[in-house]
């Protein structure tokens, strides 16, 4: 059994921006994000075009979506909550301060999550870490984990005929205003288990390579 772990906001922002969070939802497994990721998605960019889609995705996750509480994530949420009490003439300044703090909070929450996963994946459970933050490449999530960049995830979905083209999907993301990283990174540790395709719902997929449209395979 696979647990899908998204330790940074990058993959969700990229896919949410073009309406393709379904590519994550098709996993027949639990999905884990940290509280810092949730806060960054909902509070860090309140006017971002993908915010509504991401808020809906988080709200609809139910028991399948697990929010991993971390010390840094709790502090970040409290910092945003305290903005409600800041005088109007200081609000922009204080918001900028909190946003600067997000980077450190995000990194610390990733480290907290990695530590939990090193000891928390037991039995036949393995982890698939889907990421864009470069720092994830240098972190140890334990022997039962496969780490996959968003770009490598898209390439894997193309190979499975889930989407017609990874290039097409990322071109659409770029047209929407986001320069998502095209770094190839697919590292499977010794006990990471079988390919994630066994835990991926292929029902109703008809996208084939070389098909029409923009290559993203998304609904129109």
Q: How far apart are CA 23 and CA 185, in angstroms?
A: 18
CA distance 28 to 3: 9
Q: Identify whether 79 is part of a domain.
A: no
Give the residue-averaged pLDDT of 163-179.
97
Q: What is the pLDDT of residues 136-148, one digit of tens each?
A: 999 999 888 999 9
In the structure, what pLDDT confidence band is assigned to residue 208 with cuts at 50, 70 and 90? very low
Q: Could you count the other beta carbons within 10 Å of the beta carbon of residue 185? A: 17
CATH number of the domain residue 142 falls in: 3.40.50
**161 falls within a domain:** yes
Q: Which domain holds residue 131?
A: 2-69+112-199
- How would residue 211 be classed by pLDDT, with cut points 50, 70 and 90? very low
pLDDT at residue 217, rounded to an integer = 65
Assigned domain for 48 exists: yes
- In this structure, of 50-59, 79-88, 113-122, the range with the lowest mean pLDDT score is 113-122
Which residue did the predictor score with more confidence, 101 or 28? Answer: 28
In this structure, is residue 176 part of a structural domain?
yes
Contact between 98 and 131 (Cβ < 8 Å): no
- SS3 of 96, please? helix
Residue 157 lies inside a defined structural domain of this protein: yes
Six-digit token pair at 77? 């949420």
Total of domains in the chain: 1
> Which of the four pLDDT bands, split at 50, 70 and 90, describes residue 168?
very high
d(CA 137, CA 147): 8
| Local confidence band at 213 (pLDDT 50, 70, 90 cut-offs) | low
Amino acid 220: pLDDT: 43
Query: Is there a domain that residue 144 lies in?
Result: yes
Confidence label for 206 from pLDDT (cuts 50, 70 and 90):
low
């Amino acid at each position: 059994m696979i647990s899908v772990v998204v330790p940074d906001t990058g993959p969700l922002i990229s896919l949410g921006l073009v309406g393709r969070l379904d590519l994550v939802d098709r996993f027949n497994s639990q999905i884990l994000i940290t509280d810092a990721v949730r806060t960054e998605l909902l509070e860090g960019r309140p006017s971002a075009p993908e915010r509504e889609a991401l808020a809906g995705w988080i709200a609809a996750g139910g028991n399948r979506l697990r929010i991993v509480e971390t010390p840094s994530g709790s502090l970040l949420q409290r910092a945003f909550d305290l903005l409600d009490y800041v005088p109007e003439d200081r609000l922009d300044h204080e918001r900028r301060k909190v946003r600067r703090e997000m980077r450190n909070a995000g990194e610390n929450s990733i480290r907290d999550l990695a530590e939990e996963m090193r000891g928390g994946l037991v039995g036949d459970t393995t982890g698939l870490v889907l990421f864009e933050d470069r720092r994830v490449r240098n972190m140890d999530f334990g022997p039962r984990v496969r780490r996959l960049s968003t770009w490598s995830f898209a390439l894997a979905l193309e190979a499975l005929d889930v989407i017609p083209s990874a290039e097409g999907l990322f071109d659409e993301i770029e047209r929407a205003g986001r320069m998502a990283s095209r770094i190839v990174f697919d590292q499977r540790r010794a006990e990471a288990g079988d390919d994630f395709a066994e835990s991926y719902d292929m029902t109703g997929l008809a996208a084939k390579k070389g098909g029409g449209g923009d290559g993203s395979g998304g609904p129109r």
